[in-house]
């Protein structure tokens, strides 16, 4: 049985695609994390996540609100710090240094994007690797590359959990990742490789994208462009994970609504399993952020906050 999934209303030569219920899987994971958070709190180590928001970007405010809400529902203490767009880089780095030293804070998240006068690279590297629950720092990336313990980037880790929920054995399977960003595409490929898949990374310079994807058992689309992946580009029975989040433009049906990088209506007639947008990868990204925070608190409770 494939847990937390609903059957999509589509079929192809006897195949019935599964719409992977990321919201349901995330809800189950958060329930388990809540139990761990309660145990830690009872022992005097309530997990704590500090979230810093600089500026008034509308999308960022929504993302932060969802993260804070998820913390509350999971028993994680959230500390939200909001600053005007004029907040200086030096001031932000000073706040991060203070949070690094705060033993009640086990994770630090600085919401991106930042105002143009602040260097995001300097900000990310200022966060202690023991509290880098986004998994974005150079050291965290190096630990992922070399297989050392560390915090995995939340979105690709959530994608791995969604793939796992389908029951597919990745060993020897061909996985194609569309996108090569440092936050999703590259770490996604590394995690698939560590699961013994044969991995191909495609991007804007790939000459024959369809030729690559038609041979794939698993496809992860993460480029931020509508209809990057269509039904004609998918092998029957493939598992498709849609990381994209785009708005349908005015003048089209469902204008203003969210959609992914995948033509869901077409691809679900070919794939064996597919994530919807919304309700697929998004909830899992937040769930994995909470998982990293609880793991960090566990390390502090054991008196060994350093990653080994």
- The residues annotated with a catalytic role in the active site are 67, 111, 134
Cα–Cα distance measured from residue 123 to residue 99, given in angstroms and rounded to the nearest whole number: 13
Cα–Cα distance measured from residue 50 to residue 159, given in angstroms and rounded to the nearest whole number: 24
Q: For residue 166, which of 13, 22, 26 has the smallest C-alpha distance? A: 22
Cα–Cα distance measured from residue 111 to residue 181, given in angstroms and rounded to the nearest whole number: 17
Q: For residue 79, which of 96, 62, 60 has the smallest C-alpha distance? A: 96
């Amino acid at each position: 049985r494939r847990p937390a999934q609903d059957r999509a209303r589509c079929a192809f030569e006897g195949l019935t695609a599964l719409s992977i219920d990321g919201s349901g899987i995330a809800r189950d994971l958060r329930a388990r994390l809540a139990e761990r958070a309660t145990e830690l709190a009872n022992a005097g180590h309530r997990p704590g996540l500090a979230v810093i928001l600089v500026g008034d970007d509308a999308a960022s405010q929504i993302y932060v609100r969802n993260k804070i809400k998820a913390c509350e529902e999971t028993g994680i203490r959230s500390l939200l710090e909001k600053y005007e767009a004029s907040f200086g880089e030096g001031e932000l780095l000073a706040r991060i240094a203070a949070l690094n030293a705060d033993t009640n804070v086990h994770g630090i998240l600085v919401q991106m994007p930042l105002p143009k006068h602040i260097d995001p690279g300097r900000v990310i590297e200022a966060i202690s690797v023991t509290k880098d629950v986004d998994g974005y720092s150079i050291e965290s990336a190096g630990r992922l590359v070399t297989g050392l313990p560390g915090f995995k980037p939340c979105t690709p880790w959530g994608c791995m959990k969604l793939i796992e929920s389908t029951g597919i054995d990745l060993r020897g399977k061909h996985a194609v990742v569309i996108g090569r960003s440092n936050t999703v595409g590259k770490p996604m490929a590394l995690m698939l490789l560590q699961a013994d898949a044969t991995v191909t990374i495609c991007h804007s310079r790939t000459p024959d994208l369809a030729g690559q994807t038609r041979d794939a058992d698993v496809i992860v689309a993460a480029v931020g462009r509508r209809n990057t992946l269509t039904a004609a580009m998918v092998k029957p029975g493939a598992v498709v994970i849609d990381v994209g989040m785009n708005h349908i433009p005015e003048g089209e049906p469902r204008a203003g609504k969210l959609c992914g990088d995948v033509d869901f209506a077409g691809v679900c007639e070919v794939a064996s399993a597919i994530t919807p947008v919304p309700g697929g990868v998004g909830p899992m990204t937040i769930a994995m952020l909470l998982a990293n925070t609880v793991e960090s608190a566990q390390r502090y409770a054991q008196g060994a906050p350093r990653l080994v």
